[in-house]
């Protein structure tokens, strides 16, 4: 099986970053960093019952079949957020 799509989902803001940082990072991944294409979605808070079309699309795009597949898996992905050992998180700066 070959990877067809990479989806990056951002929750909330980068508190100490420039407000344009999420868009810049999303565009960078979309244009330069990955093949297959990277799509970046953003929301202030993720919830299992969310419809992905309600999220802000910062870069990239999804084919309808990929949206359907991701939407079907979304509740399980959000539930996995409760298992922090399964995720790579951004280190918080030392204050």
How far, rounded to the nearest angstrom, does the alpha carbon of residue 53 sit from its chain's CA centroid? 13
> Per-residue confidence at 94, pLDDT binned at 50, 70, 90?
low
Alpha carbon distance 59, 37 (integer Å): 10
Q: Which residues pair with 57 in a beta bridge?
A: 41
Nearest residue to 58 (alpha-carbon basis) of 35, 24, 95: 24
pTM: 0.78
Residues 33-78: tens digit of each pLDDT: 767 788 999 998 888 898 988 899 999 988 888 889 999 999 998 8
Compute the average pLDDT of residues 4-20.
83
């Amino acid at each position: 099986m070959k990877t067809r799509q990479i989806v990056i989902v951002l929750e909330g803001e980068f508190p100490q970053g420039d407000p344009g940082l999420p868009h810049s990072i999303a565009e960078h991944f979309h244009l330069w960093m990955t093949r297959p294409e990277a799509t970046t979605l953003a929301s202030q808070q993720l919830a299992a019952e969310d419809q992905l079309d309600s999220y802000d699309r910062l870069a990239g795009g999804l084919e309808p079949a990929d949206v359907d597949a991701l939407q079907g898996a979304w509740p399980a992905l959000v539930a996995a957020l409760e298992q922090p050992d399964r995720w790579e998180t951004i280190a918080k700066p030392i204050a």
